[in-house]
Structure 1
Amino acid sequence: MNILAIGAHPDDIEIQCAGTLAMYVMQGHQVFMAVATNGNMGNYDTLPDELARIRESEFREACEVIGATPIWMGYPDELLENTIQNRLVFVDMMRSVNPDLVITHGANDYHPDHRITYQLVWDALPLTSIAHIHTEHPPTNRQVTLYLMDNTGGIDFLPTEFVDITETIEIKKAALAKHASQLHIFMDLMEVDLLDVVDTVGKFRGYQAGCKYAEGFTKVEAWYRGLSKRLLPESGIASTFDYKTRSN
């Protein structure tokens, strides 16, 4: 399968679903990671043009850790808009991948760039298969299933499906660690350790899912998007508790 994850900023995908993407790669699927904005407003101690270069480099290094193909869209940070022109850019980007599955932010996420990325994806996705909407790449030949990834901190997000990422949690953290510019800014400004955030949320979702570490997702339910099979990856590690080995 072709798997496409779309985030608003460099590091969003790594925080929310890198463990799942790494599972897809391990199972032989093609994974693409697209970032809408260049993240150039993300630090107080680096000028925007320089920060955009840094964050693109960090993103590409993170994709290499996961084994994903990077797609850098380069919109200005904090100023993403849901316009017809931008919608068509998203259409063409998705057509270039021809995905079986798309993963993006939820509609109620905390950041406007996250919410607008969701809206652009949701509005563009049905257009990818329309023959008379012309972009650089040809139309896809199917309607694509859309999944929403967790919110930062797991706030106000109720997963309907889980992926056991116990096998890939260290890959997830190694990919996130490539975003050094953001690790230090979160610690400096908010005393937040992003690596600890993904570890803690991963454990919490794991408690919900019946495994050590998990990532949570919600499938967008819409007509003609339903499937009779699971598209999210299955883990090689048992996801249920073995009561026979429980200590008394």
Structure 2
Amino acid sequence: MRVLAIGAHPDDIELQCGGTLALYAKQGDEVYAAVATNGDMGNYDVEPERLAAIREAEFREACAVMGAAPIWMGYPDERLVPTLEHRLAFVDVIRRVDPDLVITHGPNDYHPDHRYTGQLVWDALPLAGVASLKTAVPATSRQVTLYYMDNTGGVGFQPTEFVDITDTIEKKKEALGRHLSQVRIFRQLMDVDLLDLVETVGKFRGYQAGCRYAEGFVKVEAWYRGLSRRLLPEGGRASLFEYKAAEDGGGEP
């Protein structure tokens, strides 16, 4: 199976679905991570051109940790808008991968780059399979299932499906930790520890899902995109009670 995650900024994918991507890779699936903008506006104390190069290098390191092939789109940070030019660029990313499913931002996310990335993915998906729409990459032969990933901090997001990432939470944190420039600036400006954030949200979603750590998703229901089978990975199967028993000396879950 081929999986494509498309995020707005170089750390968004790691924050919201890094554990799931690492789990796909662990299971032997082909995983691709695309980032729309270059993150050049994210630090007040680093010039944008230099910061863009730093953020790209960090993103590629994080992808190597998750087991994902990186796709760097390179649009300016904070200025992504849903133009026809951008829509067709997203069509080409989808066509290049020809994925079984796509994961991206939902429509109620807090940042305009997030929301517009999600809209561009939503608008590009049906066009990716239109053979008469000629772009640099040939059309796909199917309509692709779309999932929205969680919002930062889980604010205003109600998952309809969960992935148990207990086995890959450390990979998720390791991948996010490669974004040193972003981790530093969040701590300096907002007193936010991003690694603690994913630990906390992962535990919260885990309580909802009945496992130790989880990531939440919403499957987008749309004409011609429904499936009779689950595409998200199953992950670990042990319950919180089984993990607690293992910790208390009752054996491995």
Whether contact under 8 Å (1:164, 1:239) holds in the other structure is: no
Going from structure 1 to structure 2, the CA distance change for 1:186 and 1:156 (only over 3 Å counts) comes to same
CA distance in 2, matches of 1:227, 1:187: 42
Whether contact under 8 Å (1:6, 1:35) holds in the other structure is: yes
Q: What's 1:212 paired with? A: 212
Superposed CA offset, 1:211-235 (max 9, x none): 0000000000111111000000012
CA distance in 2, matches of 1:23, 1:179: 20
Q: What's 2:123 paired with? A: 123
Superposed CA offset, 1:30-84 (max 9, x none): 0000000000000001000000000000000000001100000000000001001
TM-score (norm 1): 0.97
Q: What's 1:223 paired with? A: 223
Q: What's 2:200 paired with? A: 200
Residue type matched to 2:150 in 1?
D
Going from structure 1 to structure 2, the CA distance change for 1:24 and 1:243 (only over 3 Å counts) comes to closer
Superposed counterparts of 1:129-148, under 5 Å: 129-148=129-148
Q: What's 2:28 paired with? A: 28
Whether contact under 8 Å (1:20, 1:233) holds in the other structure is: yes
Residue type matched to 2:140 in 1?
T
Residue type matched to 1:118 in 2?
G
Cα distance, 1:245 vs structure 2: 5.3
Superposed counterparts of 1:143-158, under 5 Å: 143-158=143-158
CA distance in 1, matches of 2:245, 2:176: 34
TM-score (norm 2): 0.95
Q: What's 1:112 paired with? A: 112
Whether contact under 8 Å (2:11, 2:179) holds in the other structure is: yes
Q: What's 1:176 paired with? A: 176
Which secondary structure state, in structure 2, belongs to the residue aligned with residue 88 of structure 1?
helix
Q: What's 2:251 paired with? A: none
- CA-based RMSD of the aligned residues comes to 1.5
Residue type matched to 1:67 in 2?
G
CA distance in 2, matches of 1:117, 1:244: 40
Q: What's 1:79 paired with? A: 79
CA distance in 1, matches of 2:176, 2:22: 12
Residue type matched to 2:32 in 1?
F
Q: What's 1:232 paired with? A: 232
Q: What's 1:189 paired with? A: 189
Residue type matched to 1:33 in 2?
A
Residue type matched to 2:72 in 1?
W
Q: What's 1:41 paired with? A: 41
Q: Percent identity?
A: 71
Superposed CA offset, 1:122-156 (max 9, x none): 00000000000011111101110000000000000
Residue type matched to 1:28 in 2?
G
Going from structure 1 to structure 2, the CA distance change for 1:240 and 1:191 (only over 3 Å counts) comes to closer
Residue type matched to 2:161 in 1?
E
Q: What's 1:59 paired with? A: 59
Which secondary structure state, in structure 1, belongs to the residue aligned with residue 232 of structure 2?
coil
Going from structure 1 to structure 2, the CA distance change for 1:236 and 1:243 (only over 3 Å counts) comes to closer
Unaligned runs of 5+ in 1: none
Q: 1:166 aligned to 2:189?
A: no
Q: What's 1:17 paired with? A: 17
Superposed CA offset, 1:99-124 (max 9, x none): 00000001000000000000000000
Residue type matched to 2:166 in 1?
T
Aligned length: 247
Cα distance, 1:204 vs structure 2: 0.1
CA distance in 2, matches of 1:96, 1:243: 41
CA distance in 2, matches of 1:243, 1:146: 32
